[in-house]
Amino acid sequence: MVIGIDHGYYAIKGANVCFPTGTAVYDYEPYTMQNVLQYAGKYYVCGTGRQTLLKNKTANDTYYLLTMVALAQELRYRKAAKKTGIVLAAGLPLASFGREKRPFREYLLRKEQPLRFLYERESYELFIEEVKLFPQGYSALALHPEYVNGEPSVLLVDIGGWTVDLMRLDNAVPNAATCRSLELGVIRCIDEIMEQVRRSTGLSVTDVQIERVLNGNPCSMDPEVRAMILQHGRIYTERILSAIMEAGFDLKAIPCVFMGGGSAILKRNVKPQDGICREIYLTDVHANAAGYERLVGQMSKR
């Protein structure tokens, strides 16, 4: 079975599941076994908010543990056997793909086979047969080739938790020389809003509240604070558009595909006066993971 996983800074996404990257470890059984991974004699409560930023995802076992949880959730969603072989498909930013590909593959594909663990008291025994790695962002377009067909040049903007990854495609092929990675992800936006609200009103709103307001979802909140959050959503959008232009991309000249968790924020805040040539929004947070699976399938057919 092929399972794609998008290892984000803010959230882990499969083709069908999504949960925050936060984890809490316990030596003894916690009060509830919901979202609890049992592995190597310890209990890990996963999905408890956002973890501390870890730029090098292979520095500790956190993302390995989160991968187990994602596999378990995907197998459960697909009503698949809990004892099976897995081809794990994952991704890396194209700007650092060559540098990180080997260590990340070794991180995910360990000698420990089969991989045995319990998730929410259910036992899993998985044999990771292979790990396939693909460029983030570009892989999502495997699901939507219509976005680039017929366009000589398209800019892909993947707005993630910590970085905004830029990639220009010429005749539907990534131009590696144009790849840029900007540290302007949604986490930066949310942290700055939390601090600004605290300074202005004395209130300590949560990152989940801010995220809901930015995405246009209902949330009980002081109208003044809501207005402040929405105002900063526009400021954040202006910062990203300005940074893209400063990186050498003319948004008024080539179409732009916005994707990733932050694309919904831009969709609500981009205005006609921004003068973007043509904007396309791929707001499905599962797009990368599903794209990885599609690419593995295409490789298998060939």
Give the ranges where the chain is alpha helix by DSSP (H). Answer: 62-77, 97-108, 186-201, 207-214, 223-246, 263-269, 287-301
Per-residue pLDDT, 89: 97
- Count CB neighbours of 296 within 10 A: 19
The SS3 assignment for 39 reads strand
Per-residue pLDDT at 109: 94
Please provide residue 291's backbone torsions phi and psi, each rounded to the nearest 5 degrees.
-65, -40
pLDDT for res 301? 74
Closest by CA to 156, choosing from 141, 177, 134, is: 141
DSSP three-state, residue 90: strand
> What crossing angle do the helices spanning 223-246 and 207-214 adopt, rounded to 10°?
70
Q: Give the Cα separation of 139 and 126 in Å (integer).
A: 25
End-to-end CA distance of the chain: give it in Å, rounded: 18
Q: Mean pLDDT per segment of 10 residues, for the chain of length 302 residues? A: 93 94 90 92 87 79 95 97 96 84 94 93 96 89 84 92 90 87 90 93 91 88 92 94 94 93 91 92 91 89 70
Q: What does the pLDDT read at residue 217?
A: 86
pLDDT for the residue 265: 92
Q: What is the pTM of this model?
A: 0.88
What's residue 141's pLDDT? 83
Q: Which amino acid is at 234?
A: R
pLDDT of the residue at 266: 92
Which residues share a beta bridge with 77?
Answer: none
For residue 244, give every residue at least 6 positions away whose Cβ sits within 8 Å of its Cβ, in sequence order, or none: 155, 157, 164, 166, 251, 256
Chain centre to alpha carbon of residue 14: 10
Rounded Cα distance between 276 and 272, Å, is: 8
pLDDT of 261 reads: 85
pLDDT at 99: 87
Farthest CA pair distance, the chain: 60
Query: Which residue is associated with the tokens 């599609």?
Result: 294
Which run of H or of E encompasses 86?
Answer: strand 83-92
What distance lies between CA 232 and its chain's CA centroid? 22
